[in-house]
Structure 1
Amino acid sequence: MTPLDNNLSSDTVPRVTDLRAALTLRFSSTPRGARLARRIASQQMAAWGWPYGTEANDTVELITAELAANAVTHGRVPGRDAGLRLVRDADARHVRVEVADVRGERLPLPEPDGRPLADGGRGLVLVATLAEEWGVAPRSGAPGKTVWAVVACP
């Protein structure tokens, strides 16, 4: 897997002036890997000054959990890892969550599929509600996509 920053445009990425303001992690495309990504995101938020149980930590944890679960459910290719990247802006007011997988042809649907009793299909509605903005970008130099969300951290 190539670094996750290959597909980021400078106008949507928080500026990183402190090398400790970014975290990059590869995780297995399994439910266990998605849990690991969620837990590490929460730990990183605590290390950056947003303790467990705060709105910012809980929001980043939930968004990471949803994007990682989608990556291992819909973007999985056996033997290929997924990726997590967290970037804190220089003012520590926003965190960008990025989750990459290798299935670029399987783009997320931003709306539920209309089946009210379906087991899934609502996760990105939560992401859209909690994030200031979110989107999908192709990974340059490698197959796949990156789903990202920017979270305001008061």
Structure 2
Amino acid sequence: MTTTRRTTQFLAALVHGVEVERTAIRFTNSEQAVPQSRRFLRAQLSARGFTPEDELTDRVLLVASELVTNSVLHGRTRAMHEPEMIGLALSVKPGEVLGILVTDNSPDPPVQIIRPAAVEDGQGLRLVSAMADHWTAAPATHNGEVVGKGVWAFFVWPGESNREPPALHHRTPMEVW
């Protein structure tokens, strides 16, 4: 999860790259956010020519489900009766890379818990690591103040899996939302 050259390259392509398509939505931090996020991403991927049968669609939906579930379970900072939002963004550089960003109000970074594979609970980040080509997390800031976190998951465009990530062109810092 540490910031590596690969993370920087993916971020540079998706945040600073040209011809990048971006869309975002916010959900109430509740169990309904998981199926809502899947519907949103399924529609966005379909609009870009990916079918429900495509391997990339399956991977993106599974990773998004795990990241949104983690936000619902661990990212809440307010009492249950108080409204709180989760953000979901999709960034696509056609032919190169696709990224999803899930944001919540907790500044605590995600922690991968090592448990036996037979234990179902706590496997979310293990699945994210297995399904995404790379992932990372960073504090979300607003006006220089930490206001939560963002978790990115990256997917190399289908047919491009043996390619290096896009070349790094910019090195400017960014806010995750």
- Shorter chain as denominator, the TM-score bin is 0.7 to 0.9
Structure whose alpha-carbon radius of gyration is higher? 2
Report the TM-score when normalising by structure 1. Answer: 0.82
Contact kept? 1:28, 1:34, Cα under 8 Å: no
CA RMSD of aligned residues (A): 2.0
Instruction: Report if aligned partners of 2:133, 2:154 keep a CA contact under 8 Å in 1.
Output: yes
Listed one character per residue, the Cα deviations across residues 27-81 of structure 1 (whole Å, up to 9, x for unaligned) are 1100102210121111111111111110011111111111011111110234110
**In 2, Cα distance between the equivalents of 1:127 and 1:119?**
14
Question: Equivalent residue for 1:94?
Answer: 97
Query: What is the TM-score with the length of structure 2 in the denominator?
Result: 0.72
**Percent identity between the two aligned chains:** 28
Report what 1:143 is aligned to: 147
Q: 1:85 aligns with which of 89, 93, 117?
A: 89
The ranges of structure 1 where at least 4 consecutive aligned residues each deviate by more than 6 angstroms after the TM superposition are: none
Q: Which runs of 5+ in 2 are unaligned?
A: 1-6, 159-177
Gaps of at least 5 residues in structure 1 are: 1-8
Alignment CA distance shift 1:38-1:121 (3 Å): same
| Counterparts of 1:83 and 1:33, CA distance in 2 | 10
Q: Partners in 1 of 2:90 and 2:154 — Cα distance? A: 10
Shift of 1:111: 3.8
Give the number of equivalent residue pairs. 141
